Structures are given as structure tokens and as C-alpha cells.
């Protein structure tokens, strides 16, 4: 079934109701939307066969008794099965074609693309072509465009979407006020659901970032693209002058590798070098200048990860401000440096709201007065496509911390941000968007945070970030406590919105390095301060206040932390329990920071992590320098569980 019109299905369903009681109807479809519209049960998505099942099906279809006894045919058959890519349709068709045939035919099929098998002998391509013909016209263009990438390439979803938008293939739904990016996402998901893409790739927070195409689908894409899309191979010299989109299946590192015939493609809109996108091969500026000068119709010029130190003079921020009408992909990560006598300004980012991926802002030299205003004009809050932001203060002006504070205040990112890295921030105060518990409101989807060499005395409350997996804090000597009070796990802003969550519900890795004044996670003195200040306070009340604090500390645990590294934190005496930690490194730490107390819980009644008891130790790798006090305190059964034990000796 192909029709996605629910009204048509309802009309058909009424006719089917006259069937005999107990009758069942099995519907097959290549669109999940069709399956959900028609199904009375959740759809069952057929997966590709395993290698074992693929071979069993092939043997059933291709081998007679004589062939099964021929070891040469068995080896050739296994190679053919790999070409079929675990698709039952391909395996059945090719197997049937080879049944009873001599070895010469088997070798021919092994060495021939399955798409080139005559349709009189195989219906594979005609069946796949049927799926293509049922696509909406813009989707057909998007699918055909994928032929520009070599077979078995991992297709980056964001790159594909950018290319489709630049080519003008994406048509947003006007009635739904849909953006180009949202429409491109829908296109990708449609092609994925209909089986044109496979082997999806996900990032750390579960979002789809890429996929692959089956070789047969790639052959179909090349067939339907015709002459307008060309994947050039090394040594090819002749090019059809009707080519619009061109990519190279080899690394293009110098002018001599550019075929002369390419310069006759006056209508060329796309120039890609997929083989160089991911390996960082160099790409000379002279090649880039030639392309810009000769091909005035270019819509897509792929330059990222090519080690260019600067853009050609004919490309600048004026061109970038026309995104996405004219798309320039430069380093795939937006790099930005503000330094004296530079034409680049933070305000130049104001209109670049279609930037996506990761952005690196480096500020060099002394602060200028207008830079404080420019930080706000950079308008990062409108750049919803940015998922990673790195802000690096390489400034010589270290006397006036207010400049740092004003700039970081203005560089507030969009709430979609996943990764945040801040280096050498010399402000004493955090920006308003990161103070106390507000970070989980302004940047709720953060997965990774790295703070390096910052001078502020407090850090944001990280414990309420629901998706945070990696936290790294280094060279922050002014911080004494990670959270200022025992009850900081629910900020006022959280309470006002009715939001509360567990203590670090997703954190997997924690690194604390060279924090020489860090004493603990919470400030114990604050827990009993009000009791201690009272003249009428008895010693029993002081003890009770301390016990309440200890009870709170027991209830706050790193429930999912698997790796913990603490180095050069000599004053750190206590830390929340880490009952599921597998990798632990403690070097140059306070002797009171006990390995045993970190990796186990003292009471199963107070634990907030299910299944976390002293008898259920997860620790597998341990590195330390305080052998006498730490290692000897561990029970023997715990030592027997270790797969790796490293003793780090004092170099002095």
C-alpha cells in the first residue's frame, strides 16, 4: 500500500468489514505513515537479515546438491551474499538466478553490480524504482543528490540538509509556518522511514546524526540522477557539459588533479570532495580561487575540514549573510576570532542565524568598549542550530573583571545548546543565565560542560541538568564548594516552574583537576550555621544539625557515574557517593577522601540509587598514589574485582 490519505483508507476499511468473523488482513507498506494509518496494531518493522540467516536463504535459493559440494562456489557465494547487504529481496533474486548455473556465471555476478543485471533476469531495480516513483518530486531530487557520495559513505544528516537547502530542493509547508531546517528534517526522516537510508548513527544524547545507503539504493540514485549528478573517479577526463552537481571520489590536493574537462561545466552548481570532509586533508587556496573565479553558478562549495587558513577574498561575511540562498560550509564548525586590527567583529554574527554545529569564539588582546555591546549584538540566543559553543578569553586585560563579565553576559546561547566550553574567564561573577540553579532553565539540554582556568568563586548548579553526561572542571583555584548550600538541589527558579529532578540523573564522567581550594560539594558550615550562631544552642542540637547534613549527603549520590578523576585537589575531603563508578583515579588528594566511601553506600535505606549496596561494587579500574592509606583499607574481595590497578609515584 502506498496511499497516505487516511480518508481513502477509511472508505476501504468499511468494505472489508463484511468479511467473516475472525478474518485477518496483513498489510505491507514501505512507509511507516501508511502502516500507522492502516494498522489496528503497532506496525512491525522488518529488519535486514543476520549474516547467518542471509547465508541460509542464499543456499536454499542458489545451491543444488552438486553446488553444495563445490568449495569454490561456496566461497564465491559468500562474497555475493555480502554484496546483497542482508536484503532478502536481493538474496532471493540473485540466488534464483544462479541456481544450476556453472561457475563462470557465479564469478560474473560476483564481479558485476547488482543494478546491472538485466531486468529480464532480475526484478530488484524495478521494485526499488517503484518506491522512488512514489516519492514527492522534491524528495526525488534529495534522493538523487545522494549519488554524489561514494558507496558506503556515512552521510552526515546536517550536511545533507544544508546541501538540499542550498540547492533549493526544500519546500516548507507554508500553512504550518515551517522553517527550511524543519522541512529538511522532515525530508530526511521520510527517506529514512521509507527505506532509502539505513544503518542510522546516533550521538551521545540519542539524536540521529547520520546514516548510510545500501549499494542498491546508491545504484538507483545514480540511475535516476542521470547526467546532472556526477561522482568523478581519478583519471576521468571527459565530462558532459550538462552536469550540474559534481563531486570527486578521491582527494583533491592540488590543481593538477582537477580534470581540464571540468572547467567547461559552466552551469555547475555543486562542487564536493566527500573523501576529504572527514580526514582533514589539505586543500590549497589556489584551487579554491580557481573554483570561485570560473564557476559563477556555484550554490555549494564545500571547504570544511580542508585546513584553509583564510577564505578567498571573493568570499566574506557579505556572502555568509545571504545564507541559506548561497551556502558556504566553512570548517563545519564556525570559528571566530576577535583581535586588534581585525576586520572581524562579534556583531558580524548578528544575522547569521542559520549557523549550525559548533562555534568557537576566541577573544584576543585588550577589550574595547564597543566589544561589550557587540557581544549582545552577536545574537547567539537566535542561533538555534548551534549545538556546541566554545568561548576562549585569550585577553591581556586581566585587571578589570567587569569587561569579562559583560562580554560573557552578552554571549548567552540558545537553549538548544548541547556542549559548552569556557576557558580563561577572569570575571568574578557568573552571567545571569548561569547563576545558581538557572542553568537548567536557560540551557536545559546540556550534555557536556568544560570549564578551564576560570576565576569565578562559584560554579553554576550542575546537579539539576537532566541530560548532563560529562562534566570537566580544571584550574579553578577560587572555588571552595561546588554548591553553596545543603539544599541547593532545587533552586527557587525551578520551584517556581514546578520542576524538580534527581541529583545528576545522567552524569557518567566527572573530572576535577587542580582545584587547590576545593573542600567539598556542599558547604557543611552553612548547614549548621544558624544553629551554631545561637547562644542557647546545646551540643546535642549541634550534633543533630550535623546528622541532618550527613543524612542529606547520603541521599545525594551520583547514580550513573562510571568514571571519576580527581587530581591535585589537596583540600577536598568529601564527595557524594558514586556506587556505580567503574573507573576511579585519585592522585594528590586529601587523605580523608576515602576510596571506600566514594564507591560504596553506607545504608541501603538512604540511597536514592536502586540496587546500590556495599556488596555490589562496580569498580574495575583504580589509579592512586596514596597506597598505604587507601589501598590497604579496601577489603580483599574488592581488590579481586579490579581488572586494572595503577600506582602513581610522586615524581619529586
Q: What digits encode the pLDDT tens for the residues 280-332?
A: 555 556 666 666 667 767 777 666 555 555 555 555 444 444 433 333 332 32
Q: What is the percent of the chain with per-residue pLDDT over 90, rounded to a whole number?
A: 18
Q: Which of 91, 122, 153 is the last residue of a domain?
A: 122
Is the domain of 140 the same as that of 171? yes
**DSSP H or E run through 589:** strand 583-589
Return all residues near 146 (Cβ < 8 A) that are at least 6 apart: 155, 160, 213, 218, 221
Q: Look at residue 219 and tell me whether its pLDDT is greater than 80.
A: yes
**Domain annotation covers residue 604:** no
Same domain, 100 and 178: no
Shared domain for 105 and 31, answered yes or no, is: no
Query: Per-residue pLDDT for 511 more than 80?
Result: yes
pLDDT band with cut points at 50, 70 and 90 for residue 454: very high
Q: Establish if 584 belongs to a structural domain.
A: no
pLDDT higher at 286 or 529: 286
Q: How many residues does the chain have?
A: 652
Query: How many separate domains does the chain show?
Result: 3
> Do both 205 and 285 map to the same domain?
yes
Residue 450 CB-half CA count within 13 A: 10
Phi, psi of 157 (to 5 degrees): -60, -45
pLDDT for 499 equals: 43
Q: Using one digit for the tens of pLDDT, what is the confidence trace for 343-393?
A: 567 777 887 787 777 788 888 766 666 667 788 888 899 988 888 899 988
Q: Which CATH number do you get for residue 176?
A: 1.10.10.10
* Whether 146 and 273 share a structural domain: yes
Give the pLDDT band (50/70/90) at residue 632. confident
412, part of any domain:
no
Percent of the chain predicted with pLDDT > 70: 71
The verdict on 29 and 166 lying in the same domain is no
> What is residue 648's DSSP assignment?
P
Task: Flag the least confident range among 173-182, 289-298, 308-317, 415-424.
Answer: 308-317
pLDDT confidence bin for 148, thresholds 50/70/90:
very high
Would you say residue 191 lies in a domain?
Answer: yes
Section 237-252 average pLDDT: 83
Domain shared by 317 and 243, yes or no: yes
Whether 151 is in a domain gets the answer: yes
Question: Would you say 420 and 446 are in contact if contact means Cβ atoms under 8 Å apart?
Answer: yes
Predicted confidence at residue 290, as pLDDT, reads 67
| Assigned domain for 148 exists | yes
Q: Check residue 577 and report its DSSP letter.
A: B
Domain edge (last residue) among 122, 146, 175: 122
Residue 499 contacts residue 513 (beta carbons within 8 Å): no
CA–CA dist 560, 600 (Å, integer)? 13
Examine residue 114 and state whether it is found in any structural domain, yes or no. yes
Contact 127, 219 (CB under 8 A): no
Co-location of 17 and 96 in the same domain:
no
pLDDT at site 419: 92
Secondary structure letter of residue 413 according to DSSP: P
Range of the structural domain that residue 11 is part of: 6-38
In terms of domains, do 148 and 276 share one?
yes
Region 467-486: mean pLDDT is 88
258 and 114 both lie in a single domain: no
> 520-522 and 621-624 as β-strands: parallel, antiparallel, unpaired?
unpaired
Residues 190, 109: one domain?
no
Q: What pLDDT, on the 0 to 100 scale, is given for residue 145?
A: 94
Does 27 fall in a domain? yes
pLDDT digits (tens, 9 = 90+) for 34-44: 777 776 777 77
The mean of the pLDDT values for the chain is 76
Q: What is the pLDDT of residue 561?
A: 92
Domain end (from 331, 364, 381): 331
* Residue 465: predicted pLDDT: 92
304, 257: one domain: yes
Amino acid at each position: 500500500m502506498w496511499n497516505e490519505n487516511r480518508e481513502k483508507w477509511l472508505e476501504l476499511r468499511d468494505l472489508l468489514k463484511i468479511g467473516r468473523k475472525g478474518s485477518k488482513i496483513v498489510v505491507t507498506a514501505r512507509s511507516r505513515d501508511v502502516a500507522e494509518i492502516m494498522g489496528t496494531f503497532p506496525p512491525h518493522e522488518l529488519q535486514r537479515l543476520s549474516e547467518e540467516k542471509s547465508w541460509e536463504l542464499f543456499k536454499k535459493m542458489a545451491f543444488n546438491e552438486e553446488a553444495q559440494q563445490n568449495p569454490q562456489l561456496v566461497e564465491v557465494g559468500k562474497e555475493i551474499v555480502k554484496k546483497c547487504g542482508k536484503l532478502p529481496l536481493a538474496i532471493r533474486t540473485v540466488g534464483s538466478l544462479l541456481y544450476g548455473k556453472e561457475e563462470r556465471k557465479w564469478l560474473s555476478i560476483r564481479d558485476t553490480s547488482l543494478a546491472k543485471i538485466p531486468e529480464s533476469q532480475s526484478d530488484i531495480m524495478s521494485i526499488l524504482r517503484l518506491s522512488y516513483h512514489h516519492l514527492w518530486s522534491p524528495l526525488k531530487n534529495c534522493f538523487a543528490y545522494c549519488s554524489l557520495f561514494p558507496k558506503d559513505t556515512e552521510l552526515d544528516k546536517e550536511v545533507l540538509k544544508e546541501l538540499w537547502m542550498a540547492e533549493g530542493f526544500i519546500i516548507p509547508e507554508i500553512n504550518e509556518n515551517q522553517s527550511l531546517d524543519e522541512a529538511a528534517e522532515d525530508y530526511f526522516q521520510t527517506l529514512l522511514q521509507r527505506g532509502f537510508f539505513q544503518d542510522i548513527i546516533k550521538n551521545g544524547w540519542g539524536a540521529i546524526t547520520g546514516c548510510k545507503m545500501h549499494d542498491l539504493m546508491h545504484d538507483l540514485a545514480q540511475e535516476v540522477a542521470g547526467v546532472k549528478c556526477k561522482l568523478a573517479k581519478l583519471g576521468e577526463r571527459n565530462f558532459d557539459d550538462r552536469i550540474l552537481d559534481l563531486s570527486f571520489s578521491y582527494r583533491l590536493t592540488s590543481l593538477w588533479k582537477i580534470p581540464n574537462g571540468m572547467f567547461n561545466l559552466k552551469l555547475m552548481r555543486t562542487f564536493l570532495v566527500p573523501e576529504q570532509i572527514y580526514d582533514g586533508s589539505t586543500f590549497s587556496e589556489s584551487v579554491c580561487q580557481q573554483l570561485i573565479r570560473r564557476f559563477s553558478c556555484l550554490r555549494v562549495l564545500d571547504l570544511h575540514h580542508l585546513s584553509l587558513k583564510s577564505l578567498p577574498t571573493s568570499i566574506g561575511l557579505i556572502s555568509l549573510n545571504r545564507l541559506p540562498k548561497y551556502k558556504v560550509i566553512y570548517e563545519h564548525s564556525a570559528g571566530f576570532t576577535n583581535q586588534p586590527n581585525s576586520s572581524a567583529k562579534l556583531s558580524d554574527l548578528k544575522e547569521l542565524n542559520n549557523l549550525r554545529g559548533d562555534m568557537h569564539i576566541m577573544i584576543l588582546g585588550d577589550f574595547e568598549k564597543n566589544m561589550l555591546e557587540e557581544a549582545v549584538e552577536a545574537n547567539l540566543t537566535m542561533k538555534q542550530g548551534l549545538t556546541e559553543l566554545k568561548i576562549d578569553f585569550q585577553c591581556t586585560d586581566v585587571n578589570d573583571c567587569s569587561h569579562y563579565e559583560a562580554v560573557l553576559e552578552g554571549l548567552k546561547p540558545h537553549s538548544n545548546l548541547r556542549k559548552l566550553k569556557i576557558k580563561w574567564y577572569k570575571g568574578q561573577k557568573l552571567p545571569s543565565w548561569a547563576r545558581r540553579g538557572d542553568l537548567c532553565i536557560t540551557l536545559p539540554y546540556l550534555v557536556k560542560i568544560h570549564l578551564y582556568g576560570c576565576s569565578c568563586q562559584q560554579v553554576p548548579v550542575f546537579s539539576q541538568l537532566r541530560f548532563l553526561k560529562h562534566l570537566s572542571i580544571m584550574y579553578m583555584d577560587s572555588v571552595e564548594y561546588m554548591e553553596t548550600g545543603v539544599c541547593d538541589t532545587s533552586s527557587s527558579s525551578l520551584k517556581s516552574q514546578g520542576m524538580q529532578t534527581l541529583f545528576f540523573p545522567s552524569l557518567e564522567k566527572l573530572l576535577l583537576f587542580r582545584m587547590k581550594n576545593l573542600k567539598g560539594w556542599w558547604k557543611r558550615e552553612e548547614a549548621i550555621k544558624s544553629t551554631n550562631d545561637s547562644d542557647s544552642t546545646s551540643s546535642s542540637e549541634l550534633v543533630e544539625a550535623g546528622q541532618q547534613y550527613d543524612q542529606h549527603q547520603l541521599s545525594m549520590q551520583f547514580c550513573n557515574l562510571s568514571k571519576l578523576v580527581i587530581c591535585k585537589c589537596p583540600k577536598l575531603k568529601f564527595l557524594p557517593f558514586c556506587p556505580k563508578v567503574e573507573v576511579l583515579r585519585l592522585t594528590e588528594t586529601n587523605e580523608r577522601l576515602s576510596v571506600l566511601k566514594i564507591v560504596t553506600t553506607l545504608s541501603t535505606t538512604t540511597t536514592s540509587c536502586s540496587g546500590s549496596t556495599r556488596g555490589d561494587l562496580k569498580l574495575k579500574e583504580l589509579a592512586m598514589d596514596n597506597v598505604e592509606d587507601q589501598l590497604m583499607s579496601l577489603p580483599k574481595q574488592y581488590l579481586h574485582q579490579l581488572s586494572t590497578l595503577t600506582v602513581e609515584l610522586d615524581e619529586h
